Structure 1
């Protein structure tokens, strides 16, 4: 609920690859217009749960010579998730004058995946929440600090919900959030009688399930510690002792305080998928006898350093190898998690500097109620989106009418349940259902899933109406068969050359 279970995507790059767009020609130029990027792209992120796709799309934008205007529509199920996504985006686009690059990355990791935070992160969240509250309630402040944001799609009730979240994040004793107890209660409810043997359950989930499904980079020590405490990203020099109130959901006013639903997020996969499974730094993916040189935590740190550097400088990032610490096979001594209830200083620093400028980018936060209109293919959304990303837990909203919101040339990306600990038959049933839905809607796969027997974190389908699409040639040779575009063709082998034949004399009868 608070993070996705798939890697961050550059959504414009995915669109360009799907339709083989010429990234080196001018927008709206002459020639083959089917290979030219549109002047503007509308992107729907439905249930993304965090800002990972937005961050990577913005960070990698400078790498594309063709840079169409991007309208990104973010839809999530509740106001607290929208408020948290807004905070994560604010950290990613924080002014470089406020933090060093490493400090900003560790701040993001704290908020993103740790149930307990450092005191410095705790104070930042409280201070930033006050600024975000002004932005939600005052259009002038919004335009001054983050003109790229558009909140017109939110109803007053949803803005009130975000206001409650920002208020709840303040360091007030009456805003009680005992994440340690909530986490343990969820774990006990999930495991039942197996709770006393939970270490064996967690090792099974990681070693026999997640590591077989693209999760090889997750180390057993960090995974077990996260399953026990809710703390995913650990560095020895930090003390994590303040509750992460951004995990609170279902906030309701109760006099001067708030009622909430405790912790209702993921407790089986972890926040490692978004940024911590793969990296362009190949040496960091090395492992010896199943022991990784680097943790998923270190991969997250390295990838965020790259993305935040690119956001700030619009230049390629070169990683310093001495920056990353090889803790993959090191047994770190984990001290008990303590809650530090010191008197919070209310004279905190104010973080209200304008965000990093992103020309021709608009991020629209839209109402959770719009999912019903999208499901029914409402007229106001018909033919609006060039790209749609749908999270795995939103598949029930996919109907034949939903696909009417896509343009005649559009890319549909469906997240799968690959990075869950569910049984394989559940994963296969999910994929089959998603493929059938998209096939019935007239979409065709971007790659030939029948020819490629692999594990799919995403299903990528495209809509092409009124255009002659090139034959997608995903060729797999299996003995005498070639599969081309879901059609099986038998290949006749050439007869062997005469000089290659061996002559054998048969014995006389």
Structure 2
């Protein structure tokens, strides 16, 4: 593919970040009839969601953060990716999000998440955390009993044995089996990817960067991205500079992927390549920047404290929003008794109080086998099971009658659009949206009549025999019921 900036050979084949804002999956799903969907063991309605190519877990974290605003439900998240490195990043991200608050404070957790998630280079403390968690997961993956005991929210039962072995090898590489930055020379690989993408315009990369930001991303609504942020990220791969720039020098191994010719995660580490985003250094910070601005009083305070810096840069807004998400998740897990709510405490046999807050069984993340999207409908346990189907931009080609058969009547479909791919012109974006509509219709879905217009997501529903699956169109997606 030839692009306006170069040959396009630096796009890559692995997505590390999504192209759309995080959404509350509970707000996007149809209401569940408790009489039909209640789990007989727990007495709580289930919400089953199938996500294709969500890549970074943002939708799952957002859903858990907003769970306290909705009636209690048990979440069954089924995640299907096209590479095991993305599965490993999901597991690492959730291990961090559910880390005990007494072991890691809220600010440290938020900063660690952003650096691990979006930076090509890490600070030594963050790199040490990644190594420790990766070593722990590498020992748990081949032992199902210990995995179920220590990570009850995780289910790898649908993965094949060879996929589990490869997943263990990914974690062992992250844990630093091959010492030193020469095992994964991130800076050199990032520069190589940029050279391949820009081609003959590499020497004018600063001008290309400014053009992509101001004439494309800003025109599409991503004005929160500052020029310095975008230029730094495209040149070095460091999206969030939360400390002094000299502190970032350890390669982020979670952004490593196998090149297609490489048969396994063997000892030839020099053959590893930077997986990068599906479109390499193209899309900038918008798709992984904050979705909500800080409160007005916080903006004013920040502008008074640092009048030369905008309080609304993408990095600052992202840090604020991620901190709020982790704060809400922590509050959701915290025993209700600690919040001073005696009515939510029940006693056990000896009269001692027991917290009645959500248990770890409130949600489960099931990882499905790679390449199983076209065969799920053959299994009776998946046919008509899901109330919501999410399909990422890079996996739209899998949308068809086979996936449609896995969605229950009255269920919903969300498709991620390509709004923030800077190399696509307006007519190409429109053509992509049209193609999405055609594929959704082929899969048995129709445009949602009351969905709020969106440039990043297309919403559809599957017609059913009962009207119970239709959402109250007066409730805007993302807004909990009163």
Return the TM-score normalized by structure 2: 0.79
Is residue 2:373 matched to residue 1:368? no
Preserved contact between residue 155 and residue 367 of structure 2 (Cα < 8 Å): yes
Report deviation, 1:210.
1.1
Aligned equivalent of 2:25 = 11
Preserved contact between residue 34 and residue 45 of structure 2 (Cα < 8 Å): yes
| Matches of 2:471 and 2:91, distance apart in 1 | 41
Report deviation, 1:255.
4.2
Report deviation, 1:372.
3.1
Report deviation, 1:420.
1.1
- Please list, as runs of the form range in 1=range in 2, the aligned pairs for 1:26-425 lying within 5 A after superposition: 27-28=34-35, 39-64=45-70, 66-171=71-176, 172-173=178-179, 176-237=183-244, 239-250=247-258, 252-255=264-267, 259-265=271-277, 266-279=280-293, 281=295, 292-314=310-332, 358-374=360-376, 380-421=381-422, 422-425=424-427
Cα deviations by residue, 1:168-227 (Å, 9 ceiling, x for unpaired) = 112332770011111111111111111111111111111111112231211111011000
| Matches of 1:471 and 1:53, distance apart in 2 | 20
Structure 2: gaps spanning 5 or more residues? 1-14, 37-42, 304-308, 335-357, 475-482
Work out which of the two has the higher radius of gyration on C-alpha atoms and give 1 or 2. Answer: 1
| Matches of 1:189 and 1:158, distance apart in 2 | 31
Secondary structure of 1:273's partner?
A: helix
Structure with bigger RCO (C-alpha 8 Å, 6+ apart):
2
Cα root mean square deviation, aligned: 3.0
| Matches of 1:365 and 1:91, distance apart in 2 | 18
Secondary structure of 1:386's partner?
A: strand
More helix by share: 2
Preserved contact between residue 399 and residue 443 of structure 2 (Cα < 8 Å): no
In structure 2, relative to structure 1, the CA distance for the partners of 1:471 and 1:381 (3 Å cut) is closer
Higher alpha-carbon deviation: 157-166 or 378-387 = 378-387
In structure 2, relative to structure 1, the CA distance for the partners of 1:440 and 1:390 (3 Å cut) is same
Structure 1: gaps spanning 5 or more residues? 30-36, 317-355, 475-509
